[in-house]
Structure 1
Amino acid sequence: MARPRAFDVTTLPGFTFIAIVSFLLLYAPIVTLVIYSFNAGDSVNLWGGFSLKWYHVAAGNEAVQGAAIRSFIIATWASVIATTVATMAALGTTRRGKYRGQSLIYIIINQPLMVPEIVTAVALLIFFSSVKIATGYTGLGYLILAHSAFCVPFAYLPIKARLEGMDINMETAAADLYATPWKAFRHVTLPLLAPGIIAGAMLAFIISLDDVIITEFVKSAGQDTLPTYMLGQLRRALTPEVNAISTVLLALSIVILALFSVVTRKRG
């Protein structure tokens, strides 16, 4: 008997048309934003000629510089903390047999992915407001902790996937050769796990860098990041400077995601 043909969604009527329309709806606004970031005029939607004027304006804007530095500080610390926690969580959930409450632990770790971000933001606002009143501290530490908590599941997923694809016999062999648990982790597990850790850190970094909702709720006065600065500008006189900043953030995100793709491909 002839084997039945495998189902191929691309052969369905109208698939190509729907795919093209979907890509246009997704990417046409982004392409338009990038084009108008090179607008010489003062309008965000009336073309006045090609120019790098608004990139120079953004680069010389002290508020943009401060917000950019603040964004990178928060994203760097958040990615380090989130990746460290995610690595420990991944080791604890994959390097042992099944146990009671395992599903609940998965739910707790991935809670920021399942709950609407606005709910997480309100919860963090209430919690950190109480801490601010009790301690009097209003620094960037709250934003770093808030971003770290939100980014943990994003770092956890690639690290867990890497661990599940690793041969546990390598670690068992190290133990058979009288390696202590720390030495086995340092010389066997960690080098093999490194691509997953790097991928998780990059994903956490870009998620923190682009976050708006949690930042808007948790930040104190004078703690704008680039996304919240841009949100504030949208409420005032809008100029192509916002387009230029958005294009730079878009380019940075694409570069980091491309590196993420390379790292995750190599781990196989």
Structure 2
Amino acid sequence: MKDLRKQPGFDTMAWFCLFCLYAPIAVLVVFSFNDNRSVVRWTEFSLRWYRAAFENDGIRHATWISLQVAFVAMVFATTFATMAALATTRVRAFKGQTLTYAVINQPLMVPEIVTAVSTLAFFVLIKQVTGLNGIGFLMLAHTVFCIPFAYMPIRARLEDMNLTLEQAAADLYGTPFQVFRTVTLPLMAPGIVAGAMLAFVVSLDDVIITLLVGGPGETTLPVYIFGQIRRGITPEINAVSTVLLGLSALLVSIFFLIGNKRK
């Protein structure tokens, strides 16, 4: 079988694809440091728009909402994903196991707009029946949506683990809880951390579900940016987007480093 990388034109096509992917991002980052208000004409280097974004009350409030929602979604999604991963990997094969995987990963297979509309309809019904309102509905929506993203690296870590140490601990009269606390949990910790970071990034960057489910005063940073762009792109938005890009890149890089850890 021939190596695809040695085919004629492969390098050219690869570089062209990379250029199309990253050139717009590079332009955004560069012009976030532009002193001129124009987003197409460079004058000189400046941190003016980063200071303006930091002093903007709307951006600070949206950032605080985003961090709250992302943190809560990360904690609960990772907890539920860990429980689901243990329940599907530390048991004998059972009838309907494939269906169980499909149900857990359902948010990945269904278009996000469908998930957002159905979640909105469901929450509207709950609000009418109970009279409850608040940011908790948005946190719940993000938690459910993030579960499969946290589940994948945790499950992969469990499937990659050797059962010898757990079996040895059980042979030494360790209770199931002791085996889990002293052997299983430390070994699966890299997968849990990787899943938590991935869930945090997914929640932090979400727009569609937040746009439909979020109520008054529950505007997250991506939704705030989306609203501002409709009025025209400004260097201030470039600065905020660059910060979000840097945070997402950092967390995703840590996710891959931890996910590849084998010790």
Common fold by TM > 0.5:
yes
| Within-5 A mapping of 1:1-268 | 7-267=2-262
- Aligned-partner residue type, residue 84 of structure 2: A
Cα deviation, residue 45, structure 1: 2.1
**Are residues 137 and 44 of structure 1, via their aligned partners in 2, closer, same or farther at CA, if it must alter by over 3 Å?**
farther
Contact 1:196–1:267 under 8 Å retained in 2: no
Cα deviation, residue 235, structure 1: 1.5
- Aligned-partner residue type, residue 182 of structure 2: H
Cα deviation, residue 55, structure 1: 0.4
The C-alpha deviation readout for 1:201-250, integer Å capped at 9, x for no partner, is 00000010000011101000111100000001011243111100000000
Contact 1:89–1:156 under 8 Å retained in 2: yes
Aligned residue for 1:3? none
Aligned residue for 1:45, secondary structure, equals coil
Aligned residue for 2:260, secondary structure, equals helix
TM-score by length of 1: 0.95
The C-alpha deviation readout for 1:26-58, integer Å capped at 9, x for no partner, is 000000000111121222223232211110110
Aligned Cα root-mean-square deviation (Å): 1.1
- Aligned-partner residue type, residue 153 of structure 1: P
Q: In 1, Cα distance between the equivalents of 2:262 and 2:211?
A: 36
Contact 1:37–1:244 under 8 Å retained in 2: yes
Q: In 1, Cα distance between the equivalents of 2:82 and 2:9?
A: 44
Where structure 2 has 5 or more consecutive residues not aligned to the other structure, the ranges are none
- Aligned-partner residue type, residue 165 of structure 2: M
The C-alpha deviation readout for 1:169-208, integer Å capped at 9, x for no partner, is 2212211111111111111100111000000000000010
Contact 1:38–1:52 under 8 Å retained in 2: yes
TM-score by length of 2: 0.97
Cα deviation, residue 7, structure 1: 2.7
Cα deviation, residue 143, structure 1: 1.1
Aligned residue for 1:266, secondary structure, equals coil
The C-alpha deviation readout for 1:135-159, integer Å capped at 9, x for no partner, is 3332111111111111111100100
